[in-house]
Amino acid sequence: MKRVYFLLAFSAFGLNAYGQKTIDQKVAELLSKMTLEEKVGQMVQYSGFEYATGPQHSNSAAVLDEIKKGKVGSMLNVAGSEETRAFQKLAMQSRLKIPLLFGQDVIHGYRTTFPVNLGQAASWDLEMIEKSERIAATEAAAYGIHWTFAPMVDIARDPRWGRVMEGSGEDTYLGTKIGLARIKGFQGRGLGSLDAVMACAKHFAAYGAAVGGRDYNSVDMSLRQLNETYLPPFKAAAEAGVATFMNSFNDINGVPATANQYIQRKLLKGKWNYKGFVVSDWGSIGEMVPHGYAKDANEAAERAVQGGSDMDMESRVYMAELPKLVKEGKVNPKLIDDAAGRILTKKFEMGLFDDPFRFSNEKRQKEQTDNQENRKFGRAFGSKSIVLLKNQGNILPLSKTVKTVALIGPFGKETVANHGFWSIAFKDDNQRIVSQFDGIKNQLDKNSTLLYAKGCNVDDQDKSQFAEAVETAKKA
């Protein structure tokens, strides 16, 4: 019994080892105990092994070993109370037992899917947008997630750019207001609340102005246009206390955002006095090599950390190169301390040093798996976001007594596709999602007929199904 009491006392002391010190003091004390490799480890983010949002390095055994050695600061695409707890247990085997941060692209809902972001913006309803992110944060946090890579506050004025669906359109003022509503929804009553997640303002900066609407392309603009049109949503996000920033894939006037000292050091961390941390986009540090800005991974790591990128998402160059660069005198160790310190600060603010497993709770996850109130709100929000261009002859809403209705299009009988892009996939999606065909059929009178024709495929030039679609429409 004495031995049990001793272990309990030791555990309690471990959780409160920093006493009544401020977070800044706790971070400084922890940094003083860390090796260079452990500090750089905080700047490393890897993806989980099931869901990837970019090209993956597949050596999972090595990743697990690095976590146990304290050489990983964050994981993305790891979700669920059981999975996050398992990864966190590995981190608790490290020398200093520094907890992991778990990130996920929670873009327009988590378990409950809401309209894509551009559709939400079409509602002009800031209260509903904020509430949708409150729900998304509550659900995501219940699944063990600490951090979302949202909101995207890029201003997009070229419809050829495929990422327009993730943002709020072309207007700087509206985009700023919606971005602030999303941050408030995600972060709720403050970091550390069990129904809040860290938000991330992305993509810093001017990603939506890529030449020709081509993703990853160059951005060529005056500083005046940059400051008047593309930076205001980010400045407002920083002032609102958004937890993190993500830099963008594009270059700005020849300098990649990932290594851009002007936007990341002079503006964000300098003039704006931003205290959060900056994460790269997927692999963007390493991609400076094929894009021609760095000659190799070593130079890419050097330029990225000097440019202000605090965390490397899946490039795998920071751990391989930064310790060497510091020892060779090419990178000031103060930059490493600053980056690692910013990341550790957020872990303290989230309460993870008090309890690394506090977000990995099976009971809360079960409560948020099929929350009917959330689904009811999602339905209301969906109707609010619809933009009806023309309602000739007041054909909508459909009368229950209409005799024949034709549904035309490749998504008519789809289920999972109704999530929209950048949604969260679940194994029971086929069972829980109602297709448009079944949804309409369920609302019509039992004596009505619902016809269907696919009409075309989603992404090719095949016109062979056009005739069938026209004939089906004529019957309705």
Instruction: Provide the annotated active-site residues.
Output: 281
Q: Does the reported pTM lie above 0.75? A: yes
Q: Which residues of the chain have pLDDT under 50?
A: 1-15
Q: SS in 3 state form for the chain?
A: CHHHHHHHHHHHHHHCCCCCCCHHHHHHHHHHHCCHHHHHHHCEEEECCCCCCCCCCCCHHHHHHHHHCCCCCEEECCCCHHHHHHHHHHHCCCCCCCCCEEEECCCCECCCECCCHHHHHCCCCHHHHHHHHHHHHHHHHHCCCCEECCCECCCCCCCCCHHHHHCCCCCHHHHHHHHHHHHHHHHCCCCCCCCCCECEEEEECCHHHCHHHCCCCCECCCHHHHHHHHCHHHHHHHHCCCCEEEECCCEECCEEHHHCHHHHHHHHHHHCCCCCEEECCCCCCHHHCCCCCCCCHHHHHHHHHHHCCCEEECCCCHHHHHHHHHHCCCCCHHHHHHHHHHHHHHHHHCCCCCCCCCCCCHHHHHHHHCCHHHHHHHHHHHHHHCCCCCCHHHCCCCCCCCCEEEEECCCCCCCHHHHCCCCCCCCCHHHHCCCHHHHHHHHCCCCCEEEEECCCCCCCCCCCCHHHHHHHHHCC
What pLDDT sits at residue 398? 86
Fold of 22-364: TIM Barrel (3.20.20)
What pLDDT sits at residue 10? 36
What pLDDT sits at residue 399? 86
Domain boundaries along the sequence of the chain: 22-364, 388-474
Q: What is the pLDDT of residues 378-412, one digit of tens each?
A: 999 999 998 888 999 888 888 888 999 999 999 99
